Each structure stands twice: as structure tokens, then as C-alpha cells.
Amino acid sequence: MDVLRPACGKKTVSPNDPTLPPLTSPPLMKDSSHSPVVTARPSHGQVRRGFAAVAKRVIQEERKRKEEKQDRLEQEEESAEEDLSFEELLEKAKAGDPKAQSNLGKYYLKLGEDCEADVNHQIAVDWLVRAAKQGRGDAAKLLQHCWTLKKGITQQNEAEVRSLSRESKFEQAVRRAALTMYWKLNPDRKEKMDKREILQNVSQVNSETGADCIRTSDVQTQRKILETMVSKEPNSQYVDVEGFVEMTKKYTENITQTPESKDTVSGAGLQYPLHLILDVKEHLVDWASRAGVQWLSTIIPTQHVNALLFFFIISNLTVDIFFFFIPLLTFYLAFISMAICTLRVFRSSKCWQNFSALAALLRRFEPELDIQSHFGWNQLEQHLYFLVSVCFVIFSFPLADKRWIPCSELCTVAMFFTALSYASLTPAAASYTRRAFIIEVASSLCALTTRLPQEFRTLRLLGQTFATVPVGELAVLTISLPCLLYLYLFYLFFSMARMHGFRGTYCFLVPYLVCFMWLEFAVVLLQNSTLIGLIRTCVAYFLILFALPVLAMGLAAMLTIQMVKWFVELELTKMLVTLAVCVVPVTLRLWTRFSLSILSVLRSITHRGPVKLILLCLCCVFLVCLGYVYSAEGLKVYNSTLTWEQYNTVCGPPAWKQYGITHTQILCSHLEGHRVTWSGWFLGVRVAETENGAQSLINLLPVFMGDWLRCLYGDEYPSCERQNVSNSLQEQTSVNASVLFQKREEEELCRIKHVAKHRCHVKRFDKYRFEVTLRHPVSGAEIVDIDSDIILLASHEFKQVLLNLDEGSMVEFSTKLEGKLGSKLPRLELKAIHCLNCTSSLLPEGRQVKIERNWRKSVQAAIKFAFDFFFSPLLSARLKV
């Protein structure tokens, strides 16, 4: 660009001059690049070409599109380099030409490098702001450069420069289209238009853009959209060009109006003094409550209570409880997340009808504007959340207890969401989605025919597997009619994905996967349902529709009866007391240490959204469980060939005398990991540790409250009345072992009752850890040397066995060699025990084994189920479960 520069120090022209006109419509350029591109429809033979040919054609089209775009940019740059004088460039900029405004901004940026940098840079930024408001991308880039280097940035233009420099290409295209549309709606070039006049001039847009065949329904839809847009500005009846552009941008981005500014909120106090007084009252009450809570926290030992509550809860939690609750909780939370995401997708699909009408309106002025792809990309977040929730549901379903999952009821819910998600699909790919849905239903029905009775042989052929082909070591390819249908379904998936230059992946394929997952999950739930359950479900839904008041009264009556029953059994009292004891220290801790309130916590949770919160919790639980499963050993066989004699020879007294204890310990560390099963003499057992969180918590409370809680949660000492009960062996063997064990405990309690301090006790919460001493026999005689004895650490589940073993009994035990091997009295973990010569009826039958769940096997079963869910009937997993 060659312009005559004014000398430094002369008057410069700022776009803020009041003599300049407002933003005007940019001249319509008759460029072939702005005309819609008409592509020829491929013939039937071309559609049937292979994947390589299709991919090659897509890549060539993408390259061609990029080359055309680059040519347009070069043409714009060449046209900008026309020889113009400064006065001509200034006149065009004042007339509202965005290109001239952008070039004038560049000119003042270069001028600022020579002299008067602050003044010239500020003028340059002002001209670039006017150009960027008309959708000039180069002006937005220069504004971003000025923002980074702080050239011409003032307090007045800081926010505007930051906003314009952050606009994407899509927003700039919307801005250009909105500008052109505004001046089409405003043929008289008014500075501000009445909203009613804008709605009356909707037909002007279609008539002036050459659309002769516009239907009346389209005009009414466009009028409705414009009415919705302008109704979001309730403060004024008139709309200027900048306000119209911002309204259009917000509508296309689906952004609601920003909240009121602080000035408005602060001014509300003067306008509404009663509200201000109420706010002051709330602050005073909040301050007083915080002060009172801090005073209470100094009296109540919250840290000790928190620690005792924590240890009490942990001590009563077992692996079985975790294994039961975590899969169920994960399943239900993930299922709720799936439902929420599906409802949000359905709601956004209804918004697409308005967006598509607005897109048709804006594309008349900006043919390259692709609102559909932009809308699909913005709505992709909910689809991704849905797919993550599906993974959690599928992995937790095989691990959860099916007795606590109403498969029949959830199957109907899944079918409802299948229909809802199918109704939310865009009609742009209706041919593919309709065929895919029909094929998926047909494949599922064919696969379900294998569950029919043997009498339906003809129908069972539809799902019969004719052959299997191994695919590696972990999967099998099944050849059947459902498999062929599934292959065609994947072809339809690829066809949806490659639409619009593979932008159909997030516009069509990902939304359809919501429908696909719901239907597949409905089939899985149907396979786990029963005929009675399905009939019960249909009757229940029928009653919900036609007899809801009766059901509500019945449920209320049942709940009332159950609560009365709980109250009679003191279960409700226990729950209330437990909640009160748990809530008080936790609430005090939140208020005092973190200065938080429950309302603020709830607001922060709801602000993030329930789906994000659910997925965050599930991810944390998944990571913790993954680490535990990775470190878990699972079920192992204790069949090492290492005998007790060999261990004593290498790590016992003979080795100590020859090499010393230290060298023996170093040498015996090589034996760690052996899983052995040995036999020895039982010498005795003692209690090593006792845990009782309830007793520790009650001891902190006052005497009267402690006695009440001790009787509420614990047991009362037996009456200990004299009974003529014979202790003969014949009567003991005729009674169940558990009953005898209970009677024995009552007798022991009667011996201590007369010297006990309280009327009740909480000893049923005791968790013991025992130390068992065993000695190795040689030739039927006991070893006299006590240094060769070993100590086994036994958990609470071995209590009944260990308390009923007689000294000198021969027992068979299993353990794992680890720890201080080669030392005196090594301590090993007891894994299993069985008495070989005991005759007591109090001992449990068979071998007492430490409960060790095979977590890895369960995870493998979940992985196999998930693989079959996503790829069956095409592929099936071959994991050994």
C-alpha cells in the first residue's frame, strides 16, 4: 500500500470523530468465492467404491478447499495493496469500508513506530476496532498483537479490544452476516430501528436477496426467530447496529443474557431500601452464627470426635460391604448421568430447529457460514459425558448384585430413552439413521431368538452361529446373520462419519451413538429380565398412569407403617442418633476451619452440574479401585513344595548355630513369596489387638448419655437364671454348633456380670487380632526347642476356630512366607486352618479359610462383558473368567 504519509506532528484523524458516520454495510463483493458451491452428486457406482478411493477423494476435496481459501486471502491482500492516497483511504474508512479501516489501522501502527507512539497507536487501535466490528479477521489479529504488546490500550478500549481479539472465525462470519442482514432490514439507513419495524421488514430480506421461492412458513419462522432475538433486550424499544450484531452472536452461541452488573446491584440498594435492610440482616445473622459455632467448637473436642467416628466407621466396614455397595452405587449414579445427558441432548435438538432457520437466514449473506457444524461441536460435550457414563454402567453392571437392580423396570426406561434419543436426531442424515436403527433392531431380535425354546427351531436359526474364527488369542469372530447385520451397521456408521468432509463424525455419528447405546443396553437388561418381571413392569406403569392417587396413598400408608415399625424396634432412633453424632462435628469443622456454609457448598455443587459431579466421583472411585485391584493377589493355591523341615534346616536353629542369626535372615529373605501348607501342634492363642470404635466414642460422652447409647447400640447382659441344663456330650452334639457357641458366650457373660460396671455392653463391635503359636512335630513327638516355633497372625474371622482349639491339637494351616524370615518366632499371616484331631462340636465343619476375593477375576469378567456389549455379535471375548 502506497499512501502519502502526513508528517509527524500534524493533525491525525481518529475514528472517534463525531463527524464520522456509524457502521455501514460493507459493499457486496461480486466474488465467486462468496457464491454457494454446487457439488455434483456422485453416481451409484462411485458410492460403492472402496475405502481407499473414498478417502482419497475426501483428501483431495479438503486440499482443494484449502487452496481456494488461500487464493481468496491472497486476492484480499493484493486488493489491499492498491495505490491509494491517504485522503482516499481516509474517505473510504469514514464511509465504513472495513478493509480501508483495517489498512488505516495498519498505517497508524507503522506511523507510531516513527513518532508519537502513544497517540498513533491509540488511533490505530480505534480504527482496528471499527474494522473488527465488521468481521475483519486481519483487524482482529492486529488487535491481539496490540493487546499482547500493550500498544494503544487504554481503560476505555481495553474490554472491547480483548473481546474482539478473542473472536473466532465463526464469530467473525456471524458478525459480517448480521451486519448485512441489519442493513437489509433497515433500508432507510436509520441509526436505530424500532423492534416492530424490524419484524415487519423480514420479507425485505428474502425479496432483496433474490429468493423468489421462499415459502410463507419460512418467513414466519424467521419472523419468530427475530422476535425471540429482539425480545432478549427488554431495556429499550430501539435496536442499533451494534446491538443487533451482539444479539445475533449470542443467539447463535446459545448464550443467555449476562447477569446484571455490580453497578446495577449496588443501585438496587438505594432503589429498594427494604432489600438492603434484609441483606444486612442476613449478614448479621451469618456473622452471629459463625461466632456461636466457633464458641461451641472450643467446648466440643471436634477433632477427637471426628477421629473416633472415622475409625468406628472404618472398623465396621468390610471388603464384602465395599464389594456390594460400590458397583451398585456406580451403576445407579452412571445410569442417572446417562438419563440427564439424554434429556439435555433432546432439549438441545429442539433448539436446533431455530438454529437451522437462523442459519438459512444468515447464509444468504455469508454462504461459507457453517452453523450446523459449529452447533454440533458445541453440543458434543454432553455426548462425551454420556459415553463416559455408558462405560461406567457397562463395567459396573456385571459386578453389581442383580437382585438389587430392577432389570425389567430399567429395560422399559431404556426403551423410552431410546425413542427419545432417536427423536432428537437431526433430519440431515435421516436416511442413514433410519437404516441404522432398523438394522440394529433386527440384529438384536435375531440374537434374542437363541433364547427361545427348542420347539422354535426355525426361528432359532436366525440367531444361530454357523462358524467361529479365532482373531488372535483374546477374541473370536462369529459368522451368523446378526454378525452380517452388524457389519452393515458399521458401514452405516462410517457413511455418517464421512458426511461433510468427516464433520459428520460429531454432527451425526456421535449423536446417533446415544440412541445406539440405549438400545444395546435395553437388550442387555431384557436378557437379564424375567417374564414375571416384565408383566409386573407393564402393570406398574399402567397403574402409574391411571391409578396414581391410589398408589400414592398406598405408598404413604406403607411408609407410615414401616416408620412406626422402625420406631418400635429402635432402628429409627439409632439412625437419628447416628446422624446427629456424625453431622455435628462435620458441620462444626466446615464452618470453623474452612469458613464454609452448607448453602455455599450446595451452590458450588449445583453450579458445576450434577453430571460433572457424578463423573468426577466415579472417576475417583475407579482410580482407587483400580489401584487396589492391581495390588490384590486374588485366590492363590498354597502348594509350595517347601516343607517345614527344610525351612528349619535353612532358617532354624541349626543355621543360627553355624552362620549366625543375621546371615541366616539375609539368606532366608530369598524364600519370601512361598505359599506353604504345613501341619503342627497348636500351643496356644492370645489376643494381640482389640478394636472397638463404639466403645471409644461412648467413653468420651457423659455417663448418663453413654449408658443410654450403650444400651441403644449394644446388648444387655443376660438374665443368668439357673437352668437345669445337662452338659452331657449327647445333648451338645444334638444341638447346632452356632447355638452352642451362643450359649457358651452367655455363660461367660454371666460369670462377669456381677462385677461389670454397666448394665449393657457393646462387645459385639469388638474386632480381634490373634497370635497363634505353633510347633513343628518330629516323628510324632513335640520339639522341645522353643526357638523353632512360629507365630501366626489371625484376623477376627478365625475367632470361633481358635477359641475352641485345645492345646496340643494337630492342625493344618496355610500361610505365605514373608517378613522377618530366619529370626526367632517369625510372624506370618494365617490364611487357612483346619483341625485334624478335634472332636468338639463348637468347631465349624471343614477348613476355615480367610476370605480373599478374586478381584482380578471379577475385573476380567467385567472387561469381557464390556467387550461383548460393544462388539457382539461380531466379536466375542475369549478371556478365561
Q: Is pLDDT larger for residue 765 or for residue 20?
A: 765
String of DSSP letters for 664-696: HHHHHGGGTT-EEEEEEEEEEEEEEEEE-HHHH
pLDDT at 573: 61
Residue pLDDT, tens place only, 399-457: 999 988 989 989 999 999 999 999 888 777 788 989 999 999 999 999 888 888 888 88
String of DSSP letters for 754-813: TT-SSSEE-GGG-EEEEEEEEE-EETTEE-S-GGG-EEEEE-GGGHHHHHTPPTT-EEEE
Q: Is pLDDT larger for residue 7 or for residue 128?
A: 128
Query: Apex CA 53: angle with CA 52 and CA 57, to 5°?
Result: 115
Residue 848 has pLDDT above 50, yes or no: yes
How far is it, in rounded angstroms, from Cα 172 to Cα 26? 14
Residue 389 has pLDDT above 90, yes or no: yes
How far is it, in rounded angstroms, from Cα 481 to Cα 465? 8
Q: Is pLDDT larger for residue 379 or for residue 390?
A: 390
pLDDT at 135: 84
pLDDT at 686: 94
Helix/strand/coil for 819: coil
Residue pLDDT, tens place only, 56-80: 565 566 666 665 665 565 555 545 4
Q: Is pLDDT larger for residue 668 or for residue 320?
A: 668
How far is it, in rounded angstroms, from Cα 602 to Cα 758? 43
Residue 519's pLDDT band, with cuts at 50, 70 and 90, is very high
Please name which of 837, 833, 866 lies closest in space to residue 847, comparing C-alpha atoms: 833
pLDDT at 25: 47
pLDDT at 268: 44
Cis peptide before 549 (omega within 30 of 0): no
pLDDT at 317: 65
Q: 3-state SS of the chain: helix, strand, coil percent to 5? A: 65, 10, 25
Q: Which residue has the cell 438374665?
A: 719
pLDDT at 533: 84
Residue 503 has pLDDT above 70, yes or no: yes
Residue 496's pLDDT band, with cuts at 50, 70 and 90, is very high
pLDDT at 811: 92
pLDDT at 793: 93
- Name, in order, each residue with C-beta under 8 angstroms of 478's C-beta and a sequence gap of 6 or more: 465, 467, 468, 873, 874, 875, 876
- Average of per-residue pLDDT across 660-681: 91
Residue 718's pLDDT band, with cuts at 50, 70 and 90, is confident
Residue 30 has pLDDT above 50, yes or no: no
Cα 124 to the chain's mean position, in Å?
A: 48
How far is it, in rounded angstroms, from Cα 698 to Cα 694? 6
How far is it, in rounded angstroms, from Cα 479 to Cα 483? 6
Q: What is the mean pLDDT of the chain?
A: 76
Give the DSSP H/E element, type plus range, for residue 501. helix 499-502
Contact 781, 808 (CB under 8 A): no
Is the C-alpha dihedral spanning 671, 676, 679, 685 positive or negative? positive
Q: What is the pTM of this model?
A: 0.63
Between the two ends of the chain, the Cα-to-Cα distance in Å is 75
pLDDT at 668: 93
Contact 792, 771 (CB under 8 A): yes
Please name which of 180, 214, 250 lies closest in space to residue 23, comparing C-alpha atoms: 180
Q: Which of 406-410, 610-614, 815-819, 846-850 has the lowest mean pLDDT?
A: 846-850
- Average of per-residue pLDDT across 812-817: 91
Q: Which of 24-33, 500-509, 780-789 has the lowest mean pLDDT?
A: 24-33
Position 656: which residue type? W
Q: Which residue has the cell 475514528?
A: 15
pLDDT at 435: 93
Residue 42 has pLDDT above 50, yes or no: no
Residue 725's pLDDT band, with cuts at 50, 70 and 90, is very low
E strands present in 692-729: 715-716
Please name which of 183, 156, 149 lies closest in space to residue 27, comparing C-alpha atoms: 183
Contact 814, 788 (CB under 8 A): no
Q: Is pLDDT larger for residue 439 or for residue 91?
A: 439
| % of the chain with per-residue pLDDT over 70 | 65
- Name, in order, each residue with C-beta under 8 angstroms of 122's C-beta and a sequence gap of 6 or more: 14, 152, 154, 157
How far is it, in rounded angstroms, from Cα 672 to Cα 668? 8
Q: Which residues pair with 469 in a beta bridge?
A: 477
How far is it, in rounded angstroms, from Cα 161 to Cα 167? 10
Residue 49 has pLDDT above 70, yes or no: no
Please name which of 198, 177, 543 lies closest in space to residue 364, comparing C-alpha atoms: 177
Residue 124, C-alpha cell as written in the block: 490505530
pLDDT at 489: 93
pLDDT at 41: 43
How far is it, in rounded angstroms, from Cα 478 to Cα 469? 6
Q: Which domains does the chain have, with CATH numbers?
A: 171-253 (1.10.238), 306-546 (no CATH), 644-692+766-849 (2.40.50.140)
Q: Is pLDDT larger for residue 374 or for residue 453?
A: 453
Residue 115, C-alpha cell as written in the block: 513518532
How many residues are recorded in the chain?
A: 881
Radius of gyration of the chain (CA): 40
Q: Is pLDDT larger for residue 347 or for residue 723?
A: 347
What is Dmax (Cα atoms) for the chain?
125
pLDDT at 2: 45
Residue pLDDT, tens place only, 266-278: 444 444 455 556 6
Contact 121, 109 (CB under 8 A): yes
